[in-house]
Structure 1
Amino acid sequence: MNVRKIITFTEDIHTEGGRPVDPPARTAVVLAVIENPWAGQGFVEDLLPGIDEVAPKLGGLLAPRVVAALGAPVEAYGKAAIVGLDGEIEHGSALIHTLKFGDHFRTAAKATTLLPAVEKRAAAGTVFDIPLKHITDATIRSHHQSIEARVPDGPRADEIVIGLAAAAQGRPQSRLAPLATEQ
């Protein structure tokens, strides 16, 4: 696994809808810009060797970083794969849609639900939104949110940006009725 760089950022929302948010609503994102393990090989029929080589290392690298950056228990989480223009969307999906990657974050977050995801092929600097859902119950509406991310110089054509995002709470000032009220 060839990592070019890792970007970590947090966001603390202190006011929403003109009202204070106390404590501030915190989210964290960690993005790794890596060399696409299938770059320059043409169409690769069997992605499993690359998955086995890269996904566990990547999950082990990113999961503890995003939890540490959040600095609080994780209540919502999500993942992303943005593939450079010379790759296939399947290359990003192969790395993030495997337990070899995701179980690192599930374990670190003490989570039980599937990680919501975004994956796409895009040029360097593309803005993307990482969806977040509650770590144990994906129907909890207050935790349906997203966080915007961007790597100004990535992914390059032969790279993939892999990201994990976490929130310490639901949306600030959330007030939608529980899903059960509509069933």
Structure 2
Amino acid sequence: MPKVVVRKFVVAVEEILHESGPPPAVPARRAAVLAVIENPYAGRYEPEIQDFMADLKPLGLEMSRRLVAALGGDPAVVEGYGKGAIVGGAGELEHAALWHNPGGYAMRELLGDAKAIVPSSKKVGGPGARLDVPVTHVNASYVRSHFDAMEVGIADAPRAGEMVLALVMTTGPRVHARVGGLKASEIKGEDGLR
């Protein structure tokens, strides 16, 4: 199995004090942690890549811990999450899919076995490529107030033989969410959907 080689981490935190209308009583926060890693499959087609997911699991947990710490250290404040990956030009889109399991399950585990599937996005791009990471409620995918996204990217990554792996967490709904649907207070939490 390939070794996970990290070039750097980037952590970004947004604290939203105002969106048109009255300021929220408590500022909304969202944060992303990005890891730039070597892509062990860059430059060639490798038919068997699935084992690398197991190698990425410890990185997923480390990134999840960094993200919770960036939001104050208490996993209980996290209400939304998402994940994504950008693969450098010598790789392929399927390499980004390797992040689905280790990134998603790490967050779910750290947050106390969250129920909802972790939404994701992925692409192939060069240094400075941006990615909109989708976000949903951690326990129910149909809570509209928590449908969100956070744009991420790094000026010098991914280089051709790298991948940028991303995790995002939020502390609540969009500021002034008011488009109806299932409310967070109505979640049953039985199936990750409602």
Task: Report if TM-score (shorter chain) is over 0.5.
Answer: yes
Distance 1:168 1:57 in 2: 24
Asked if 1 retains the 8 angstrom alpha-carbon contact of 2:12 and 2:33, the reply is: yes
Q: Does 1:175 align with 2:178?
A: yes
Among residues 5, 9, 25, which one is paired with 2:8 in the alignment? 5
Match of 1:130 in 2: 133
Give the aligned residue type for 1:70.
L
SS in 1 for 2:149: strand
Asked if 1 retains the 8 angstrom alpha-carbon contact of 2:116 and 2:141, the reply is: yes
Q: After superposition, what is the alpha-carbon deviation per residue over 1:65-107, rounded to whole angstroms, capped at 9, x for unaligned?
A: 111111251100000110001100100102x122x44221101
CA positional deviation for 1:178: 1.2
Asked if 2 retains the 8 angstrom alpha-carbon contact of 1:85 and 1:157, the reply is: yes
Match of 1:103 in 2: 105
Give the aligned residue type for 2:91.
G
Asked if 2 retains the 8 angstrom alpha-carbon contact of 1:38 and 1:50, the reply is: no
Give the aligned residue type for 1:89.
L
Which structure 2 segments of 5+ residues have no match? 184-194
Among residues 91, 102, 108, which one is paired with 2:95 in the alignment? 91
Aligned length: 176
Distance 1:104 1:179 in 2: 26
Give the aligned residue type for 1:8.
V
CA positional deviation for 1:179: 5.0
More divergent stretch after superposition (58-67 vs 141-150): 58-67
Could you say which structure has the higher strand fraction? 1
Give the aligned residue type for 2:81.
Y
Give the aligned residue type for 2:82.
G
Match of 1:57 in 2: 58
Asked if 1 retains the 8 angstrom alpha-carbon contact of 2:103 and 2:167, the reply is: no
Give the aligned residue type for 2:16.
I
Distance 2:100 2:13 in 1: 24
Match of 1:43 in 2: 45
Q: Does 1:147 align with 2:150?
A: yes
Match of 2:86 in 1: 82
RMSD: 1.4
Q: Does 1:116 align with 2:134?
A: no
Asked if 1 retains the 8 angstrom alpha-carbon contact of 2:16 and 2:27, the reply is: yes
Asked if 2 retains the 8 angstrom alpha-carbon contact of 1:14 and 1:22, the reply is: no
SS in 1 for 2:121: strand
TM-score (norm 2): 0.86
Alignment identity in percent? Answer: 38
Instruction: List structure 1 runs of 4+ shifted beyond 3 angstroms.
Output: none
Which structure 1 segments of 5+ residues have no match? none
SS in 2 for 1:66: helix
CA positional deviation for 1:22: 1.9
